[in-house]
Amino acid sequence: MKILYATSEAVPFCKTGGLADVAGSLPPALAREGAEVAVILPLYQRVREKFGGQLKFECYDYVDLAWRHSYCGLFSLEQDGVTWYFLDNEQYFNRPDLYGYMDDGERFGFFSRAIVRMLPHLKFWPEVIHCNDWQTALVPIYLKDDGVREDRYRGIKTTLTIHNVEYQGHYGKDTLGDLFGLDHGWAEDGTIMMDGDVNLLKGAILCADAVNAVSPTYASELKLAYFAHRLEGILSKCGYKLSGVLNGIDMDRYNPATDSHIATNFSLEDLSGKNADKAALQRMMGLREEPCVPIVGIVSRLVSHKGLDLICEVLHDMMELPLQLVVLGKGDRKYEEFFHWASQQYPGRMAVRLDYNEDLSMAIYAGADLFLMPSKSEPCGLSQMIAMRYGTVPIVRETGGLKDTVQPYEAWRDAGNGFTFSNYASGDMLYVIREAVYLYKDYPDAFSRLRKRAMSCDFSWARSAKEYLRIYANITGQTWPVPAAEPAPVLEEAPAPAEEPAPAVEEVSVPTEEAAPIVEEVPVPAEEAAPIVEEAAAPTEEPAPAAEAPVPAVEEPVKKTPRKTAAKKPAAKKTAAAPKKKTAAKKTAAKKESVKKETTKKGPAAKTPKEDSAE
Ligand code: GLC
């Protein structure tokens, strides 16, 4: 199966949030399962600076979008069984940050159009393009547009992963043609419009062949107004193709037995190193070196949906418990000020670093005993999984991926891998913190068994990769895994008729269960996605039935309108540094230079650029 994974960030090249971790780990995991995988992302300044020497220049071409005609270079890198492609246009991507510019709409409109445009230059023609969040949401839409004229585009299936529905790519309605080069038909039938604006994520949800959220619980929550940021109606309507696939973590990178970031390594078999890491953390953060007092760690962006208001409400009650508190993160000023102030009230017992620091975060995962994540909403969350891998028991609110990865401790049958509370209420949070602290203090053996259960959870990517492959198989009508070829029959005397052509592998594999591109199977049973904790009861709650959610007045979900044929306005542009290697050059260097001079940048019509950051 040939998969092109389209993303605006990926570890180790560039990262602002969890999307980068996923995009850095899932494609190699898909490759390990036998898929042919390429990833495509922008050639940002930081990628050029850190990896420029390793990149191979492939070719360049020009991308037409509305009235623009822009240079696009293609670079590649082979790593972890995956081809990583980088699209180069210096005007759009040679900037210090990934997002937060007023022309983000134009930048990612270009990126999405360029992905489709550059397909003929890639090493394979993909069967599936896997898009992520609003930045690549235009890809399924452009494929529909191009598919009207060319079958080969129509043949490509698309899947969209929603990492955080809060960021949708809202732009004023005048951007439709001028910025995104789309015919007004896309607005008239409502496909890409929402509340009078262009909404890229909505358009992709309607046009993609499959849509998934990053955890089964988040997939259900997305049908509810509380979580869906006005897309609940569309997502309910598309419930037939919506599923939840729990993210994994890179179990090799996050391995306490080998991690070079932490003071002392340890493992499930020998946890003594964790005590040393705790002492190291206490020294590092200026906390009292008390081995028998549990450390509660928080590593988080300091923003509202992380549930920090609950902590602000009951911080003093928390600090009356025999615990120490460590906070690492930065974000909204009101939380930064609060935590800074609070840490001064409890010297030696509470320490705060308003920063993002990889080494310190690893020291907290390794040295803390409990890890607090009271999120209001959490599509998946990776920190709780990392904490568990390092034997730090999570305390979480039951939402999104937190609910799917943490099963509540049950003393009576010694089960569960953490502590959970359901209502978004500070009293409920305080109750389970108290439960956790006293289990640590009064029942160390029970706590140690709980810690070991948390450490034993399997959050590897292999499981998620298999689920994605099942989605790809559903939408392409293939079976996966491809059944092993039957052993050749031992019939030396009877040669096969020469005329009979050998069928392609995919055709040989007669679908055993379901080959039709019906997505009924896509929703993944909750128990399959739950992490492997022997004692933990599998989540049994069914997603909210789609029927109960309000169905909005949306016209035809998918439209196909011939693109407008009006002559393009002139003003071509070429913005990237000229590639060193010239393939069958289309323009002479001189001509390219003159094109570069002509380059203009149309004023963007981005309405809320900040809102569309990736995290
Ligand atoms: C977003 C979500 C986070 C998720 C990550 C990766 O950052 O907020 O919960 O883990 O994407 O999918």
Examine the domain organization and report whether 218 and 318 are in the same domain: no
- Residue 24 CB less than 6 A away from ligand 1: no
In a domain, 136, yes or no: yes
Residue 75 belongs to domain spanning? 2-244
- Residue 22 CB less than 6 A away from ligand 1: yes
- Residue 298 CB less than 6 A away from ligand 1: no
Examine the domain organization and report whether 421 and 540 are in the same domain: no
- Residue 375 CB less than 6 A away from ligand 1: no
CA distance 522 to 239: 10
- Please give the share of the chain, as a percent, with pLDDT higher than 70: 78
- Residue 509 CB less than 6 A away from ligand 1: no
Largest CA distance in the chain: 90
CA 20 to ligand 1 center in whole angstroms? 9
DSSP state of 492: T
Last residue of a domain, one of 434, 459, 484: 459
Specify the length of the chain in residues: 615
In a domain, 199, yes or no: yes
Last residue of a domain, one of 440, 459, 478: 459
Examine the domain organization and report whether 204 and 291 are in the same domain: no
- Residue 214 CB less than 6 A away from ligand 1: yes
CA distance 272 to 393: 16
Residue 96 amino acid letter = P
CA 114 to ligand 1 center in whole angstroms? 26
Total domain count, the chain: 3
- Residue 247 CB less than 6 A away from ligand 1: yes
CA distance 125 to 127: 7
In a domain, 240, yes or no: yes
Look at residue 25 in the predicted model and tell me its pLDDT.
Answer: 97
Examine the domain organization and report whether 276 and 240 are in the same domain: no
User: Beta-carbon neighbour count of residue 346 at 10 Å?
Assistant: 16
CA distance 114 to 124: 16
Atom of ligand 1 nearest to the CA of 401: 9
- Residue 213 CB less than 6 A away from ligand 1: no
Examine the domain organization and report whether 24 and 146 are in the same domain: yes
The low-confidence residues of the chain, meaning pLDDT below 50, are 491-615
Examine the domain organization and report whether 176 and 118 are in the same domain: yes
In a domain, 471, yes or no: no
In a domain, 266, yes or no: no
In a domain, 469, yes or no: no
Number of H helices, E strands in the chain: 24, 19
CA 382 to ligand 1 center in whole angstroms? 7
393 touches 454 (CB < 8 A): yes
Look at residue 543 in the predicted model and tell me its pLDDT.
Answer: 40
CA distance 363 to 76: 35
Examine the domain organization and report whether 59 and 172 are in the same domain: yes
137 touches 7 (CB < 8 A): no
Examine the domain organization and report whether 225 and 279 are in the same domain: no
Examine the domain organization and report whether 298 and 232 are in the same domain: no
CA angle 533, 461, 407 (to 5 degrees): 25
- Residue 378 CB less than 6 A away from ligand 1: yes
Pocket probe mutation, ligand 1, options 19, 136, 165, 304, max atoms within 8 Å of Cβ: 19
CA 249 to each of CA 29, 305, 406: distance values in angstroms, whole numbers, following the listed order:
11, 22, 15
- Residue 402 CB less than 6 A away from ligand 1: no
In a domain, 486, yes or no: no
Examine the domain organization and report whether 155 and 27 are in the same domain: yes
Atom of ligand 1 nearest to the CA of 400: 9
In a domain, 381, yes or no: yes
Place of tokens 């990392």: 386
CA 21 to ligand 1 center in whole angstroms? 9
Examine the domain organization and report whether 205 and 289 are in the same domain: no
- Residue 242 CB less than 6 A away from ligand 1: no
Examine the domain organization and report whether 400 and 533 are in the same domain: no
- Residue 381 CB less than 6 A away from ligand 1: yes
- Residue 17 CB less than 6 A away from ligand 1: yes
Domain of 22, CATH number, reads 3.40.50.2000
CA 44 to ligand 1 center in whole angstroms? 21
Atom of ligand 1 nearest to the CA of 614: 7
Atom of ligand 1 nearest to the CA of 21: 6
Last residue of a domain, one of 427, 459, 491: 459
